[in-house]
Amino acid sequence: ATENANKATQNANTQANRAKQHADNPPKMGENGNWYKWNEAKQAYEDTGILAKGGVLYPTFTIDPNTMELVMHYQDDVAADMFVIDKEGYLTFNPK
C-alpha cells in the first residue's frame, strides 16, 4: 500500500510540475505574427505556423498620379508577403 501511495504521489507531483511549466509558458505571438507554443520535450517555444492575428487581412490600392502605377498597401508587415500582383496584373492571395 505504501508503494502505491508513493507512486501516486510521484505521479501527482510530475503532473503538477508539467502543469506549472505550461502555465509559466503560455502560447504567445512571435515576431513573425504566428502563435508559438511551448514544447515540453525541447524546453523551448516552437512556431505553430498559425497566424495569431485575427480579423480580415486585405490590401488597399492607390494609383500614383505621377507614374500611373498601381500601388498596393497592407495592414501591417504580417500581411505583406500574403498578396502578390503578378506581371499580368493579377492579384494572388498566399495564406500562411
Beta carbons of 18 and 26 less than 8 angstroms apart: no
Can you list the positions of beta strands (E) in the chain?
Answer: 28-29, 34-39, 44-51, 60-64, 69-73, 83-85, 91-93
Q: Is residue 78 very low, low, confident or very high in pLDDT (cuts 50, 70, 90)?
A: low
Percentage with pLDDT > 90 across the chain? 38
pTM above the 0.85 mark? no
CB atoms within 10 A of CB 36: 20
Stretch 64-71: mean pLDDT: 88
Give pLDDT tens digits for 33-54.
Answer: 889 999 999 999 999 988 887 6
Task: Check pLDDT > 80 for residue 96.
Answer: no
Task: Check pLDDT > 80 for residue 88.
Answer: yes
